Every structure is written in C-alpha cells, then in structure tokens.
Structure 1
Amino acid sequence: MKNPYIKTSLGMYLNYFMLGMINIIIASNMSALSDNYNQPVEKISLLVSAIGIGKLIALFFAGRLSDKIGRKPIIITGSFLYLLFLVGIPLMSSYPVAFVLAITAGIANSLLDSGTYPALIESFPKKSSSATVLVKAIMSIGATLLPFILAYLVSNDISWGWSFYALGILFMISGIYLIFMPFPAFKSNSKDKVDSEVYKNRFKEEPKFWGEGLAIILIGFTSTALFVVWQTWLPELGSKFIGLSENVSVKLLSYFSIGALVSVLLLAALLDKLIKPITVMILYPTIAFLSMLSLFFVQSYPIVIIMTFILGLSTSGTFQLAITVMTQFFVKNKGTTTSYVNIAGSAAFILVPIISSFLVGQIGISMTLVFDMVIACLSVLLAVFVLIRGKKVFQ
C-alpha cells in the first residue's frame, strides 16, 4: 500500500530545501548586509547568533507543543514566521530590527525542527534514519544552489534582496500547501500509550537520560558547531588565511555544500542497511579532524577544494543522526526528547559565532580551524560513549 504521507513529506522537505539557503544567506551577503545596516562585518555575523537565540527560546516549548497539539500546526506556523524574516531583512535598515527578525527566524527554525523530525519518523517508521538524513540532503542542495543564484543576481544587476524575497514567497506557498495535507497520528507516541511489552523487549536496562541522553544532547552541540564554523567563516578563511579572491572564496561554500549533499545521499542509501547511525557519528568527526589538520598545514588551491569537499561530507548528517539515536534510546514523547538535542544545536548557533569571532579578533582567522578540531575530538569521544552504552542498554 502506498504511503499516504509522501505528499506531506514533499512539503516538509521543501521547507528544508529553503532552510539550506537561509543557513548561509547571511554569510553569503555579508558585504551587502553590512552596507544596508551600516555595521561592520563582525556585527553582521552576530545575526547568526541571533538566529540561535531564537531557536533556543522556542525549543523550551516547541517540542512540548508538538507532542500536545500535533506536528501540523507547529510546522505551518514556522513556515509563516520565516516569511516575516525573509521579507523584513532586505526591507529594513535598522540593525536592532534585523536582530529581532533573526530571532524570529530562529523561532521558526525550532518550530520546523520540533514538528518535522517527529512527523518524518512517524510517517516512515521503518526508514526513520534515512528519512531524517534526507532532510540534510535537501538542505545541502539548497545551500549548493544559493551561491550560483547570488552570482546570477550580481551579473544581471538584480538587488541582493531578491534572494530573500523569493524564499519568502516559497515559504508562503509551502505553508498553504501543508494546510491541506494529512499528517500521521502523533499521540500514539505519548508516554501513556507506549506499549510496555515492546519497551521491555527492546531494552536490557532502562536508558539513562543523564548518561547516554546527555551525551547525545552534547553531540547535538558538537555536530552543529562543526558545521556552523564552516558556514560562518569559510569565505573569510578562503580570502584571509588561504589568500583566494573574494569571489573564489564565496564559491568554496558550494564545494562544501556539494560534499554535504554527497554525504547525506550516501547515508540515505546505506543507513539501516549496511551501517548504523552511531558508527557514522564516530567516523565523520574523525575524518573532519584529519581534513582540518591537512588544511591547516597545506593551503594550495587544489588541496583546499578537496578538503572543503571532504569537510562538507564529514560534518553533514551527524546532527540528524543524533536526533534519530535519541528517539531510539528514549521512545516516549519524541517531540520533547528531540527538542533537547535541538536546544544543544541552538546553543551552538549562539555560542560558536561569538567564540569564533573572539578568537579571530584576538589571535587570527586560523584559530577557527584549531577551535573546530577540538570540537571534532570531543564529538568522537561522546559518540564512543554512546556506542558503549548502547551495547549495554539494547537487547
């Protein structure tokens, strides 16, 4: 029987296609935004932190709302909040207003995450890992296309603001589309309706929230941090550390996004068949560390392209897998438990740009590499701990 939620998932994936563009739209328009708001680039980069603040604020209630009133209204509300952000940023010239709009975008992001991930897991219960990782694939496609769209706007003397307006129109269309789409029942996953026999057969012992649960939440932070450093600073690393021109440096984001896309397509094909999520959560940060180490010592252009591609590949999909693993350990109230991982990711969105901006200002752009290598090592250690606990917990 054909899955009745395929059309619904298309709308949810469309949101994340646009979200992939939004995640790098500030970094890609740094100069234009700096001129528009009459602020230095360093302050424009803090709009990324503002998005993280909004995510963090919303995640304290978004997951519970998702479990209480359902996935559908949460996702639709997030779509229309993004419309407000995308139309407002190019129209306004006040930096404080832009900061508030960025917080609104973060709230919208949290609503989408708290509704979409549980909805996909419930729509495709036998392929939940692949369904959630495909979110990252769709985001990577969007992030890959945006630099080319911006280059087209520049070459045709079209205002940079249209990169925001067009996404706003698409979010409006998506929100209206999802109003008429069916969603799976969500209350079947609430605490009082979990089949106790299935629960007992699945676990040898009760999972510990303050053990493996906390470790997975911290992986939500480290996996996001690994990605945010590159999304925020890759063009600057290309121009100031490696010595590339500004146009070529911006295009590095495309190579990074292509690597991310290849990664998540591979994961979507291999997960639940040939490889386990926790294995990827150990392997990917290890590869990322080695890639950054190579990039730190070798700055030739061909090596930079290859390492940028590999970094895109090895820093993508881990966050989505952390959410999947969290639901495997803690099967009750998926909206709430996944929100904890999202809170950690939001904290990374807030703290990483602030920490990296401080390191760049005090020491230099190369410190973004050193900082990210430390994060990669921590991520590996946490994933190894979760693997050890998983062997003790699951039947």
Structure 2
Amino acid sequence: MKNKYMPTAISLYLNYFIHGMGVIILAQNMTSLAQKWGTNVGGVSMVISSLGIGRLIVLLISGYLSDKLGRKPFVILGAVTYILFFVGIVASSSVVIAYICGIIAGMANSFLDSGTYAGLMEMFPTKKGTSNVTLKAFISAGQFLLPLMVSFLVANHLWFGWSFVFCAVFLALNLCFMIPAGKFPPVGTDVEVEENGEEEEVTEQKGNLWFDGTLFILYGYISQTTFYLVSQWVSEYGSQVAHMGSTAAHSLVSYYSLGSIICVLFTAVLSAKAVKEVQFLSVYTLISFVALLLMYLFPTGVICSIMSFVVGFSAAGGVMQLGLTVMADFFPKGKGTVTGIFYTAGSIASFTVPIFTGMMASNLSNVILFDVIVALLGFVVTTLITIRYYKLFGKKAKA
C-alpha cells in the first residue's frame, strides 16, 4: 500500500470488474437479445464474434502507441468506448447495429489491455505476475456476479437491460476518478525499484523472435479459446446435454468464476513464495484438459458443476496473464507491444471460435470435445515454453 500508484491500480482493477461482465453479458442475455433483434441464438452468437473483430482492428497499434504516448489515454479511451457498447446494445434494434456495438466493445477491450497490463507491470515491477493475475480476479468477480444479476432480473420479470445500465454507470463513475486523478509512472520506469533506492539491470531480449514468438502466439490463441468456450457455452451445455434446470445451468458460470477467483488467490500465495510464473503454465493446462475431458465423458449435473469450477480454476484463473508475464521475460522491451501481440492471438480466438461453435450448436457435446482438443494442444505448447524458459534463463529461472 506504500506504492503511490495504488489508487490508480485499484481504479484499473475496477474497470476489469466491469469487463468481466462485458465478456459474457451478451451470452447471458441471448434469449432476450434474440427477441429484441428478431433473430435466433445463432444470430446473437455472430454478434458475440464481433468483439473479436474489434480487438483485432486496434490491438496491435494501440499496444505500440501506448509505448509511445503513455498508458492513461488508452485506459480512458477504453472505458469511454465500453460505455458506448453497453448503451448501444440496449438501444439497438437490429443485429447490424448490435454487431457494430460489438466491434466497439472489442476495441474498448484492446484499449484497456494496452494501457492496463503494461501500466501495472511498470507500477509493480517486482510483482508483475501477481499484479496481472489480480486483474483476472476482478474479471472473474464480474463473471461471478453477472449471472446472479441476470437470474434476479429474470425471476422478478424485470427488464434485462438493467444489467447493461449498471455496467455503463459503474464505468462512468470510475472515469470520474481516472480522468483528473489517475497517475501512471513514465513509460518504462520501474517504480518500486526506484523507491527502494536500488537499480535494476535492464535485460536484453533473450527469446527467439520466430520460435518463441510463435509459441506465445499459439498459447495466446489456445488459452483464450479454452476458457472462452466454457464461459460462453457451459450454461447451454448444462441445460441441453446434462439436462440441468435453468437456474442450475446458469449457476455453472458462477462456479467457473468462483474457481478462477480462488486460483488467483492460490497463485498469488505461491508467487509470494518464489514460485515462478512459468512453473504454473503446463500444470494448469493439464488440469484443464483432464477437467474438460471428464465433463465431455460424463455430462451429469454434478460432474458439470465440479468441472466448471476446476476449469475456472485452471483455465480462467489468470493463466493467460501469467503467459503474458512470461512472454515479457522473453521479450522485455516494449511491454505495450508485447501485450498487443499476445492478446491479438486471443482476439483472433474471440472472433473465430464463435464461428466454429455456431456450426456445432446443434450438438453441444462437440463444442466441449473441441475444447478438450484445444486444451491438449495447450499442454503441449506450454511444455515447450517451459523447456525454452529453463534453457534460456538457466540458473536465474531456478532462483
């Protein structure tokens, strides 16, 4: 708490609390939105895919520009465009307008990522992994709360749009602090190191651009796909395949989010005990593979509930943020640019996966099977990353 940038960091985390809601808010309101736009679940799924397009449009350039222009402008721009998304969705009357709003949401996510991840790594240079993983805790908190909010609105026959209004108002209030009072360290400054009166040697790039870069790009795609599929489809899978009731099926997303929150706390404790970020990657992806496989082979209410928690723990508990932190170790120059590259791969997943799953929607078992295969590939890729890490960093990796 002695870090003078802590109030700004808290504001950044609150943005991602709403982002957690934004990621699943369309999927959680599929039926209402389909009726509003005069389409079906497949049409809403296509609108969801537009978020990936929005991320793709600006993520690389915004990451690069955040290294040049600073972090704060992109955080503010991200919050403003997210507000436009929430308001635009409830005001839209067609799939076309909603699709445009979805693109705006994807752009908002990219702007936030470009300013936030790099900014936090500069605010907490000796705790990069923990600061980034904490973002996931706030994302998961939002994903845990939103299904409960939607269920409350449905049970009380209230307008579904109140959940969108809540998100827009919350972000607007947070902006009231960020615009006048938000403070960021100069780009590239190691704040904590300077405050301790110590100097930290700037490490040179050690990773191979083509081999290691390709591994991280693949992992960015795979890690996003693994938890994205579950967050978007687990409620429908529980309802149609496991034959769970509506309330119980919606609760699967909450179990998933609870698992991710607990994983963040667990990872933070181990990180404080000098367990390195890279040591989590292959273990968590293996757990994800096993949990998804069990969910596919034994689609019962009990198994789906337990495995939703386990997948949330292993695939959505900050492992993607840990992957970004490890990539920054391989390529320490230009944290904003690294963030842009890594999350561009994830945004490609956000765009392409809904298209694939839309074609599988007639048999949701195939959606989970697809996720099983992706998680297995993730284990292979993270194992290669771990091997490369220990080869490149040697004794330092074991310290």
Q: Which amino acid aligns with 2:386?
A: L
- The answer to whether the 8 A contact 2:16-2:135 is kept is yes
Q: CA deviation at 1:246?
A: 2.4
Identical aligned residues as a percent? 38
The C-alpha deviation readout for 1:186-227, integer Å capped at 9, x for no partner, is: 1448xxxxxxx935xx57x83211111221121111010001
**Deviation at residue 272 of structure 1 after TM alignment:** 5.0
Corresponding residue for residue 252 of structure 2: 252
Bigger shift: residues 3-12 or 239-248: 239-248
Change (3 A) 1:154 1:359: closer
How far, CA to CA, are the matches of 2:245 and 2:155 in structure 1? 17
Q: 1:15 is matched with which residue?
A: 15
In structure 2, the partner of 1:128 is 128
Deviation at 1:155, TM superposition (A): 3.0
8 Å Cα contact 2:206/2:331 also seen in 1: no
What code does the residue aligned with 1:285 have? Answer: T
Partner of 2:222: 222
Q: Give the structure 2 partner of residue 32 of structure 1.
A: 32
Residue 184 of structure 1 corresponds to which residue in structure 2?
185
Q: What corresponds to 1:213 in structure 2?
A: 213
Residues 144-164 of structure 1, C-alpha deviations (whole Å, 9 max, x = no match): 111111122223332110100
Structure 2 Cα separation of the partners of residues 127 and 280 of structure 1: 15
What's the counterpart of residue 335 of structure 1?
A: 336
Which residue identity is paired with 2:9?
S
Tell me by how many angstroms 1:113 deviates.
0.4
Q: Which amino acid aligns with 2:254?
A: S
Number of aligned pairs? 384
Instruction: Return the offset for 1:385.
Output: 1.1
Write out the 4+ residue segments of structure 1 that deviate beyond 3 Å after TM superposition.
none
Unpaired segments ≥5 residues, structure 2 = 191-199
Distance 1:344 1:299 in 2: 30
Distance in structure 2 (CA, Å) of the matches to 1:67 and 1:130: 22
The AA in structure 2 aligned to 1:82 is: Y
8 Å contact from structure 1 (residues 223, 319) kept in 2? yes
Aligned equivalents of 2:300, 2:166: Cα separation in 1: 37
Query: Is residue 58 from structure 1 mapped to residue 53 from structure 2 by the alignment?
Result: no
- The answer to whether the Cα contact below 8 Å between 1:119 and 1:183 also exists between their aligned partners in 2 is yes
1:283-341 deviations in Å (ceiling 9; x for gaps): 11111111112122223322221111111111111110111111111111110011100
Question: 212-221 vs 328-337, which deviates more?
Answer: 212-221
Give the drift of 1:185: 0.9
Q: Give the conservation status (yes or no) of the 8 Å contact 1:130–1:269.
A: no
1:19-98 equivalence runs, <5 A: 19-98=19-98
Q: 1:366 aligns to what SS in structure 2?
A: helix
Give how far 1:52 is off. Answer: 0.5
Deviates more, 1:79-88 or 1:384-393: 384-393
Provide the residue aligned with 2:196 in structure 1: none
The TM-score with structure 2 as length reference comes to 0.93
Counterpart-to-counterpart distance in 1, 2:337 and 2:71: 12
Structure 1 SS opposite 2:185: coil
What root-mean-square deviation, in Å, do the aligned CA atoms of Structure 1 and Structure 2 show? 1.7
Moved more, 244-253 or 371-380: 244-253
Equivalent in the alignment of 1:193: none
- Displacement, 1:177? 1.2
Map of 1:260-339 to 2, 5 A cutoff? 260-271=260-271, 273-316=273-316, 317-339=318-340
- CA apart distance, 1:232: 1.3
Deviation at 1:24, TM superposition (A): 1.1
Secondary structure of 1:198's counterpart equals: coil
Q: Residues 60-114 of structure 1, C-alpha deviation per residue, up to 9 Å, x if partnerless?
A: 2110111111000000010000110101101111210100000000000000001
Can you list the C-alpha shifts for 1:251-298, whole angstroms capped at 9, x where unaligned?
Answer: 211111111111112112222524222221101111111111212222
Distance in 1 separating the partners of 2:324 and 2:154: 38
Q: Which stretch of the first structure deviates more once superposed, 205-214 or 19-28? A: 205-214
Q: Which residue of 1 aligns with 2:352?
A: 351
For 2:241, the equivalent position in structure 1 comes to 241
- 2 CA distance for matches of 1:177 and 1:355? 41
Does 2:153 match 1:153? yes
Question: 1:187/1:123 Cα in 2 relative to 1: closer, same or farther (>3 Å)?
Answer: closer
- Superimposed CA distance per residue, residues 166-187 of structure 1 (whole angstroms, 9 cap, x where no aligned partner): 1001111222211122111114
Conserved in 2, the CA contact under 8 Å of 1:51 and 1:104? Answer: yes
Mapped to 2, the partners of 1:97 and 1:251 lie a distance apart of 30
After superposition, the Cα gap between the structure-2 partners of 1:187 and 1:357, relative to the gap in structure 1 and judged at 3 Å, is: same
CA distance in 2, matches of 1:241, 1:274: 42
Structure 2 counterpart SS, 1:206: coil
Task: Answer yes or no: is the 8 Å Cα contact 1:212–1:385 preserved in 2.
Answer: no
TM-score w.r.t. the length of structure 1 is 0.94
Counterpart contact for 1:129–1:272, Cα < 8 Å: no
Q: Is the CA contact (8 Å cut-off) linking 2:43 and 2:95 kept in structure 1? A: no
Paired with 2:302 and 2:26, the residues of 1 have a C-alpha distance of 27
Q: How far apart, CA to CA, are the structure 2 residues paired with 1:130 and 1:60?
A: 24
Q: Which moved more, 1:117-126 or 1:352-361?
A: 352-361
TM-superposed CA distance for 1:27, in Å, is 1.0
